[in-house]
Structures are given as structure tokens and as C-alpha cells.
Structure 1
């Protein structure tokens, strides 16, 4: 999917004086489809409803230019005042007399803008998805999206968020795993969407912001696509070694500095907790360090840490066989960090950002760690392993100790950590754990701006009681009650030297069932967070 911008000197539907020239300019563009949004008041004005005063609104002017096509659509009932309603008008002979070159006009309903919350981002997402659905899967190959028409009712400027969301949804719609990964190609779903080009049109007043938002949206889609690809690949291909090479490939593609530490280097660092998980597999572990140096020299970096279990059998604490194939997604935290680092580099973000990925398999074997074993973490704390299926926290804790060397501004770890978080929050919000109010507020705000949302869960000291061990400093599980909370509490013991937040994405990183596949979350959340950091 390709995205671009087009700026018109007088493209402003908020001014009736400029309405006619704006529409004429837009309709004169060679495009398969021009996308315009209209409000209930536009339809009332055109139809002679109670709100009508003079027929000089968007639909009335458009009707004149299109030789009565709007009138016909209204008579046959194709126009609706409901939010996210759509109507496609196809070129007629009468259009040419007005210099119209657009082959189609797609009208999208904004609904009643006088209603509370009519123009929030959730409403916009519904509207954008409805429009994009009409553009996809047919003979439309390119379209022009007239951005100001979607912003008529806004009291605040949501341009950047709206454009990024539109691109994000268009990218989701266009994603085809079988096409992006030819070796994995399969007949049922490897047909490409003909709709491949979306141009965002706007006026001179918003030109700078529009171009920036399109560039940011494109980077988010690239990051999400990479995260999806890595998550969807089978575990016999996407091994720890493959993840390391994928990260190294971003050096040439985006200019990231990447270092991959092997088994001996991990041993030399004293990462006994990480290695206790890796020892059951014949596939060696990797420790990936990615650097984006976009800020000033010496500026404290933001560090992202992603759980990279490329396949999780549960180890000796073997999982049930049902749906175990989905445990290839246990590296989605790693995939989202790699995807976010890719997006960050593509945007040339003026921040120092470091991505850390500890990655290995969790397999049962004669060499595997047993329940009851005690291991020593890089921090020096000893851990009694009561359940080898609680392995994500064991690789993350050493990574969280490792990042102390960077003297970070903030650290965010991302992990498909607990089934308990799925029970608590389902597939809507990612779980957010942190005791730093500034970090909580920033991540919550970024989640709302990207509609990749989070929900804060507790880290009260009382929950730490469940992690007590008779034989070590801490146990790796705290029993069934509050499982996602005690997992976060375990990680918090290794983060006392910096600001830290934990994202449990077990319920949001992938979908099961007929729609099975990686979602690319929380790449949009993390990118929006990074964009807002000063």
C-alpha cells in the first residue's frame, strides 16, 4: 500500500465562499475515487429538512457539479444521515460537462455533529473503516481522501491522529501474509487487494502537519507489518537466530545499529535466569540490542524490552496440546519492539531509543530446567522456579537488569506474559503496570490517540507476598489469584533503578479462530508514545 499527499491552495469546505472552487478542483483530479465526508446538516440542507436555510452546502454544490447525481441518490434512498453510512456515485456523461475527471465519488456520513462525542477518534475510526471497506476488493486502485471534509465538526485539531489511524486501517486491510512471505504462500488468501494507492488531500494551512502525519502513519504501518510477519511465521522458521538476523537486516534498511549476543556472551553476563529457560532447547538463545541514535549525544534513551519466546511448550510444566500452535505468538513482544524500532528509524525520530530482545525457545528435554530448581539472575537475586511455564518473566528479568547500563529515561517492557491478563481484560486493552504516574499518563494518552489502548492494573505491595519462597529470594509464580499482577510484581523487583512500565499484551497481540493472526499491537501505541516525548 502506498500513501502520498496533495495540497490545494483553496481546498477548504468550511468556507462557503471557497466551496465551489474547492470541489471543482478536487473533481478535476484523475482518480478512481474521490472520498468526501458529509454531515447530517449537509443532508438536511440538501433535502430541505428542518435545519435547511439556503441550499449552498456541500451536497447541494456537489449536486450542481455532478449534474444531479446527488438528487438521484437521495431520491432512491442511497443517502443516509447515519454515522459511517456510505454512498458511491459512478461517473456519468453529465459529469464531463463540469470538467469532472474522477471516476467515482464516495460519500461518507459523519452523522449528527451536534451530538456529544460525535467527533471523537472512536467515531472517526468507525467512519474511516466504512470508507476504506468500500475502496477495497473491487476495481478501485487509487483514491483521493479529502481530509478537511472529515474535520468539519471538530472543536480541536485531530488531523495527525486521524490521518495516522486512516493509514493504519488501510495497512491492516491491505496486509496479506502469503504475499509478503512467498515461501509461506497458500492459495486461499494470497490474492492482492487491487486498492494500492491512497492520497490525502488538504489545504495549505494544514500542509506541513498533513505531510508529517502521512510519513508517521506510513512508518507505523511498516512497523506493524514487520511485527505481523514475525509473529505469523511458523516457529521452525522464526527461531531466535532468525529474529537476530531480522533485526540485523534493519541496519541496511533503516540505519539502526544492531548487536546480537550469542550463548557465550550471555553466559559471560551472568544471565542465569534467561539461560535457565534456553537450556531445554537445541536452538541457541540470542540477545538482541538495537539502537536508534536520533537525539543528542549523552541524552538518556527510552528503552523498549520485548519478550522473545519463539515457541513455548511450557517446558517440563508442559502445556495442554490444544491450541499449542498459537504459542508461536509468544514472541509478539519481541516482534512489536523490533517493529517499533523499525518505525522509529524510518521516521528519523529525534530521540535516542534502544530496543532489547532476549529470545529463546522454551522446550522440554533432559537438559531442561525442572520445577524446584533455583537459578541466579544477573541482578544476583535467586529465583525458585515453581513452574517452567512462567518463563517469560525469567528472560525479561535479566534483560531489565542489563538495561541499567544505559541510565535510561524510561523503560517499557512488552510481553505476552499471562493468560490471566486475557481473563481480566479480554482482547480490547493491553494490561499496563507501573508505579510512575507520568509514564502511566503518557502511555494511556498514546493508547487513546492510536486506539491501541491500555488499562492500568495494580502493583500493590501486598501482592508481593504471593511470591515468597522458603529457599530463594523470590519464586517465579504466586499461584492462580491475580496471576498477571504477581507476574508484574516479579518484574518490578528488577527495575528499581529507573522509571518502568510493563505491558501485558497476551490478549491483544494476536487473534484466534477464523481471523487467526498477529495484530501488530502495540506498535501504534509505542510509536505514538515516542512521538509525544519531548
Structure 2
């Protein structure tokens, strides 16, 4: 898919389709009004007949509009003008792109980026339009024997800006958006692969291939023999014939700054181990490596953007299976930190691999910030649903930075408390810590567990169990989140560093 930005009058665009907005009730946007003028009222006449009310997401494809050089004009309902906000803007962009793709317009000029979105500038509108467009066109059909091909697919879209003064800003926004969208696609592709394809070894090989594309990117792969002190991680891997891999990606593009470390949970399939999960929807447990996938996607986007920053991606990759050698409820293991852990539930395995990865970050780097990303608890889905990530941190400025990046990118998070009151829920009579608390506040006690291994640096935990994928037959698949949030956070950090 090719994206461009430019400024120009809509009636002078030689293209397969011009896309313009209509507000509710039947009010032409400024660009649509210009087309109406050159067509001597054709659009107004169509609206008076009631063909389009202007409700958000409605579309009407028109042919033979006089005074234009386009083959078609696509009218897109935008809702009420004063109510046009972030989410509605993304929705109308996605609807416009889907309609273009399905109706044979192989290329188009879209003027929806000239709409007035409350509190947002041109750069934001361009960024969100490109990311929404890529999302709308995403498919995962690599493993189908016969792929369904659209006869005349959308191949090129030009997003319009109101004036030439905005072009430079819009072009930078377009560049950033395409790299972030590519990172999201990489995360989706990895997560959507089934576990017989996407194994810990496969992820390690993917890291190596990614490094070949970028001079500033390198990787280390630790095999089982080099993980001998990671007792918590190895306990999870014991029940599977698939060997664990500990993947470290290093992006270095700033000699003066300590690295930001991203730690992604990489359980390529989670059966629950001896504490076996119910069979219903267990196929979705291939998505238990979405944290790892998001680290791949973010590192890729950062490398493509050539951000002046140092980022380390750490991915503990394992498979959790109920084999004859599997760890059992009641077993006690020693983590890389030296703390002992009583494993009361083998299905609480993500925190076990993460705690060793978090300790590795402390022992091998001097991290400025550490952020872990994990499909960690079903309790987070119950608490927050599918819209925001659960966010818990030990550092208030980091909380604010991540929330702001999420709000700007549309990849939102919501803070949950990380109070010491919850720590006693993890007490064990036999070990330093139990790997689960009680029924209550499962998301928070999971983060409290991880906090025991992060006391020497600024740390944030993103629970993405409700946001990493969507269920259901039609729209099932990985979302690629939180690649937009993480990449925006890193972009913001670069801006802060340059201004300080």
C-alpha cells in the first residue's frame, strides 16, 4: 500500500476517487461544498433526496460528478461536526478505506484529513489516517492454500492537507505513521501464527533476521545451557519438548543515554501446564506471546525511524505444556534474583518468565526505564474490558508519560493501584513468595509479584490480556497493540531529550 500527502483543490485531482465528508444532518464539509459548487449543486441535490443523512460511517459512492477530474466521488458520513473526536475520526477513515478497497478504486485522494477534529492538528490527523488505513486493510492468509484476492484492490491513497504550509509537517507525520503501522503489522503477523509455526526457536530466528535489516540493531540468543540460573523461567519450559530461548535485541543510536528496556512475555502456547486450562477457546493461547510480538514490532519501528535513542528488547520465549517433566503445583524454584518462589498454579507462568527477564535487565544494563508487556491476567479483562491496557508502575512520571503516549496514539492505558497493601496476598509459608494471590485483584497482585524484582529501577507493567487480540469468528486476530503506545512513548522521549 502506497501513501502520499499533498495539497490541492479537490476538483482538480485526476484520480479514481475523491473522498469527502458529510456531516449530520446532510451538511456538506468545506471540501464537499467546493465540489458541490463546481458540479452546480449535484451533491446538494443528492442529499436533499435523502440518499445520505451523514451519520458516522455511512457511505455513498457517486459517478459522473460534473466539474471534477475524478471517476468517482465517495461521500462519507462524519456525524455531527461539533462531536467529531478521536475515535469517530478513526472509524470514518477505516470505513472509507474499506469502501474504496471493496468498490474497485485502486487509488484515491482522501480529503477527510482536512476535517476539524477537536484538539487535533494536521500531523495527528495524517498519522491516525495512515495507521487506521493499514489496520483496515490488514489480512492474515499466509497459511491458506487458496488466498482470496480482491479483483481491483486499493493500492495507493493520497491524504490531503488544507495548505502547502502544512506539507512538511504532514510528510513527517506520514513517514512516522507508515513505520509504526509496519511495526503493528509485524506484531500481528507473529501473534497470528499458530504455535506449531511460532515456537521459541522461530522467534529467535526472527530476531536474527530483523537484525540483518538494520546496522544499529544486534541480538543475543541464550539457549538453555546459558539460562541455568533462571530457575523460574526454566520451570515453565520443563514440560515441553520445545526448548526455551532468551532473546535480547539491542538498538543503539545514542552514546550518551542509558537504554530503555522493553520486556515482552513470549509464551508461544499456554496450555496452563499441570493446572490445565479449559478446552474452550484454548486455541487463543497462541496469543500468549503478544507481549513479545509487541517488542518485535516496536523495535522494528524504532529502527526504521532511526530514533536517537537506545532500546533493549528482552523476550523470554517458552512453551507451557503439561508434560511428564512439567513443574507441579507446590514446587519451589529459585529465580535469577535468588528469591525463591512457591508455584501454587502453573497457569500463572507469565510472571515466572518475566521475573527472570526483569532481573536480567538489572544485572546486564543500567536501564533508564524498564517496561514489561504481557498478556498476564484474565482479571484485567474483567476489570477493564478490551479497550485500555492495565498500567501499573513504581514511578509517577513514567505513569504520566505512558498515559499521554496512549492518549495521543489512540492506544490507551488505564492506571491501576500498586499499593503495598496487596503484597501480603503473595505470602508463602515455604518460600519467599507465592506465584499467585487470592481471587481478588488478580491483575494487581500479579504486578505486585513482578514489583519484587524491579526495586532498583523505574518500571512499568502493561497487562494487555484484554487488548492484544479480538475473539469471535469474523474479526478474530491480533491487534498489534501496544506498538503504537510504546513507539509514541519513545518518540516523545527523543523530543524531551533534544529539548533538555
Measured against the shorter chain, the TM-score band is over 0.9
Tell me the equivalent position of 1:224. 184
Question: Unaligned stretches of 5+ in structure 1?
Answer: 12-22, 47-56
Once the two structures are superposed, the pairs formed by residues 512-527 of structure 1 within 5 Å of their partners are 512-514=471-473, 515-527=475-487
Secondary structure (helix, strand or coil) at the match of 1:249 reads helix
Counterpart Cα distance in 2 of 1:148 and 1:518: 27
Tell me the equivalent position of 2:241. 282
Counterpart Cα distance in 2 of 1:70 and 1:376: 71
Compute the displacement of 1:111 (Å). 4.2
Once the two structures are superposed, the pairs formed by residues 119-198 of structure 1 within 5 Å of their partners are 119-146=84-111, 149-151=114-116, 154=118, 156-178=119-141, 181=142, 184-187=143-146, 191=150, 194-198=153-157
CA contact (8 A) 1:443 1:529 kept: yes
Counterpart Cα distance in 2 of 1:107 and 1:33: 10
Tell me the equivalent position of 1:51. none
Tell me the equivalent position of 1:28. 12
Q: TM-score, normalised by structure 1?
A: 0.87
Compute the displacement of 1:75 (Å). 3.1
> Are 1:425 and 2:384 counterparts?
yes
> Are 1:105 and 2:63 counterparts?
no
Secondary structure (helix, strand or coil) at the match of 1:35 reads strand
Compute the displacement of 1:238 (Å). 0.3
Tell me the equivalent position of 1:357. 315
Compute the displacement of 1:486 (Å). 0.6
Question: Unaligned stretches of 5+ in structure 2?
Answer: none
Once the two structures are superposed, the pairs formed by residues 28-107 of structure 1 within 5 Å of their partners are 28-39=12-23, 43=27, 58-92=31-65, 95=66, 98=67, 100-107=68-75
Secondary structure (helix, strand or coil) at the match of 2:311 reads strand
Tell me the equivalent position of 1:322. 280
CA contact (8 A) 2:102 2:150 kept: no
Bigger Cα Rg: 1
Compute the displacement of 1:60 (Å). 4.5
> Are 1:335 and 2:293 counterparts?
yes
> Are 1:493 and 2:456 counterparts?
no
Aligned CA distance change for structure 1 residues 43 and 516 (closer, same or farther; 3 Å): closer
Tell me the equivalent position of 1:381. 339
CA contact (8 A) 1:43 1:59 kept: no
Aligned CA distance change for structure 1 residues 198 and 367 (closer, same or farther; 3 Å): same
Q: Which whole-Å deviations, capped at 9, do the CAs of 1:185-227 have from their partners, x for residues lacking one? A: 2547565871121212223211121111111111121111111
Secondary structure (helix, strand or coil) at the match of 1:319 reads coil
Secondary structure (helix, strand or coil) at the match of 2:115 reads helix
Aligned CA distance change for structure 1 residues 191 and 43 (closer, same or farther; 3 Å): closer
Counterpart Cα distance in 1 of 2:319 and 2:32: 59
Give the ranges of 4+ consecutive aligned residues of structure 1 lying more than 6 Å apart after TM superposition: none
Secondary structure (helix, strand or coil) at the match of 2:408 reads helix
Compute the displacement of 1:72 (Å). 2.8
> Are 1:456 and 2:415 counterparts?
yes
CA contact (8 A) 1:27 1:102 kept: yes
CA RMSD of aligned residues (A): 2.2
- Count of residues in correspondence between the two structures: 490
Counterpart Cα distance in 1 of 2:134 and 2:377: 29
Counterpart Cα distance in 2 of 1:128 and 1:358: 37
Q: TM-score, normalised by structure 2?
A: 0.92
> Are 1:473 and 2:432 counterparts?
yes
Counterpart Cα distance in 2 of 1:328 and 1:86: 37
Counterpart Cα distance in 1 of 2:79 and 2:370: 42
Compute the displacement of 1:445 (Å). 1.4
CA contact (8 A) 1:33 1:104 kept: yes
Of stretches 258-267 and 184-193 in structure 1, the one that deviates more from structure 2 is: 184-193
Tell me the equivalent position of 1:17. none
Q: Which whole-Å deviations, capped at 9, do the CAs of 1:285-331 have from their partners, x for residues lacking one? A: 1111112223x203111111100000111111121222211111110
Of stretches 157-166 and 337-346 in structure 1, the one that deviates more from structure 2 is: 157-166
CA contact (8 A) 1:176 1:190 kept: no
